[in-house]
Chain A
Amino acid sequence: MTGATIARTGPDHRAAFPAATFGDVLRSEWTKLRSVRSTFWALTVTVVLGIALGAVISAAAAHGYAKFSVSDKLSWDPTGVSQSGMLIAQAAIAVLGVLYISSEYSSGMIRTSLIAVPKRGRVLAAKSLIFAVVTFVVGEVTCFAAFFVGQALISGHAPHAALGDPGVARAVAGGGLYLIALAVLSVAAGALLRHAAAAIAAMVAVLFVLPGIAQALPDSWRNPVTEFWPTQAGSQLTSVHIAAHSLQPWPGFGVMCLFVAIVYAVAWTLLDRRDA
């Protein structure tokens, strides 16, 4: 039963088939992403945490607004309050991005993948691009939904923001762009470190631990760290009000993108050179 059915045409010459393209690898990586359950769950967590946490914090802050001190009222940022959930939602994106590639290492799938696509840079590029696009769509939906839900809960209790206010549309839409950079960073970290635990730990350190430690440093050290730390700098894009010792939105996002590009380049080089 075996032989005849396989050899429809028999062994061919190279001219008989088209060369595989980057588009082929993109389709392949999209299939990989959508065909495991962890993708659905991580994205659900992102959306739900992003919106729900933002809503709870918005409602709580708005109700406390009347008792705020004058200086607290002056620094009241209804946009930022409605986006509070993103702090946690970004962790879900980082974990999913790391797992997207590190689970191929832990299962051995990476060898099957690299035999199918020996031009390894394409695998990393396709994974990064697919995950960036998915993250962008999910991120923008979450940010805008969280904004509208949050403002609805705030209005009537405290001053609320509108998309037409200066900097607000940029700050809300910037959430999706910030998550794109984070998505590429987490895929690159997964490719670089190859173990899920190590790569997730590295992402948590970059996102939460090191900025936290910086808060304990004396001002002369803390200010440059908070100003230029990649994720801190990048998150300026999502802020309406620019605090002291922080970069402007787009230069800040540029610093983060530069950092991501460096990590990506190192991951690409090692993926290409290391035995798989």
Chain B
Amino acid sequence: MIEAHGLVKRYGSTMAVNDLSFSIRPGMVTGFLGPNGAGKTTTMRMILGLDAPTEGSVTVDGRSYRDLPAPMREVGALLDAKALQGGRRAFDHLLCLAQSNGIPRGRVDEVIRIVGLEGVARRRAKGFSLGMSQRLGIASALLGDPAVLIFDEPVNGLDPDGIQWVRTLMRAQAAEGRTVLVSSHLMSEMALTADHLLVIGKGRLIADTSVDEFVRSSSQQSVHVRSPRAAELAARCREAGATVRAGTGPDARTDPDVIEITGMDSAEVGKLAAAHGITLFELIPVRASLEEAFMELTRESVEYQAAGVTR
């Protein structure tokens, strides 16, 4: 269980994290989702005692991280897979971390087996690919057999096999009753991995919801219609309480014959058109993708936006 109360982190005049409160429960994977620069890593650094909060507090099972008697046995963390000294052999890297928390040497061999690095454990880490480094980082997180796991963008740089492996690992860890917090800037990734979502943008909490709930609430339907009498149909739909936008043709240019209707389903639009004798060429229900729903949710809070792309 990770609990944050009114967490604030200010760097000079920049608010990296602004009044975040949440609690992350055991037995599930909690996805920490937000665009780049939203404050995910800063929040994780505060959970792990690397950064001191400007205001507020965050605890792991009731204690601030710095007060944990053997931190690696309670929290396993992977923030940056390349945060190691390349001149050291993978085995020695894990050994020095294990020793610092009184974890027996035998456990080092165990985690090396779990992440599948047996063949390269005696090699110096500077020759490792990003994927191998991620596995080494995950091995170090698992060393203490902790009840809480924190991963910052763990699938970045992994090949499809590696991504699948990390997903399975995180789900298995959660199924054993552990608390798993994993950050990502990709909604599609979280939809596959997480049970619960914390969505942040510009340092503020935007949503704290289950993935199912998020999918349900955000999969707003619209109806795509092409008709020679589109303008007349648009007026009738507005009278019926729907919202109508100008639509685009197949060449992505605005087409006067195309409209996008929200607030009515395709059956209602079809009946309305028939009642007024309006011919329809196309009548297509459109479901917003999760990615679009996420972008919709965080649009205001995206820090770096390409000029002209704003819709």
Contact = CB atoms under 8 A, between A and B. Distances in A.
A6 B99 CA distance: 19
Given A12-B147, A14-B74, A6 B114 contact: yes
Given A12-B73, A118-B49, A107 B168 contact: no
A10 B176 CA distance: 7
Interface residues of B, number: 54
Interface stretch (B76-84, B231-239, B278-286): B76-84
A19 to B, nearest CB: 3
- Where chain A touches its partner, the secondary structure class is helix
A244 B172 CA distance: 74
The residue in A14, A109, A115 that gathers the most chain B C-beta atoms within 10 A of its C-beta is: A115
Interface in A56-98: none
Interface in B58-82: 61, 65-66, 68-74, 77, 79-80, 82
B73 to A, nearest CB: 5
Contacts of B85: 32, 36, 103-104, 107, 109
A115 B50 contact: yes
Chain A, interface size: which category?
Answer: 35 or more
Contact of B140 (A6, A108, A112, A117): A112
A19 B26 contact: no
Interface string A26-38: 0111011001111
B96 A2 contact: no
A128 to B, nearest CB: 16
A273 B140 CA distance: 25
B175 interface: yes
Given A20-B71, A114-B49, A118-B66, A11 B172 contact: no
A2 B52 CA distance: 34
Given A3-B176, A6-B173, A107-B86, A20 B50 contact: no
A111 B79 contact: yes
Contacts of B175: 3
Contact of A14 (B48, B69, B95, B114): B69
Interface in B94-130: 95-97, 99-102, 110, 113-114
A113 B98 CA distance: 11
A3 B89 CA distance: 26
Contacts of A103: 85
Nearest to A112: B83
Contact of B147 (A11, A20, A27, A115): A11
Contact of A118 (B65, B97, B176): B65
The residue in A11, A29, A107, A114 that gathers the most chain B C-beta atoms within 10 A of its C-beta is: A11
Nearest to B96: A31
B87 interface: yes
A115 to B, nearest CB: 5
A107 B83 contact: yes
A24 B70 CA distance: 10
A62 to B, nearest CB: 42
B169 interface: yes
Contacts of B45: 275
B157 interface: no
Interface of B: 26, 45, 48-52, 61, 65-66, 68-74, 77, 79-80, 82-89, 92-93, 95-97, 99-102, 110, 113-114, 140, 142, 145-147, 165, 168-169, 172-173, 175-178
Of all A-B residue pairs in the complex, the 6 with the closest CB atoms, nearest first, are: A11-B147, A3-B172, A108-B83, A19-B69, A28-B100, A35-B92
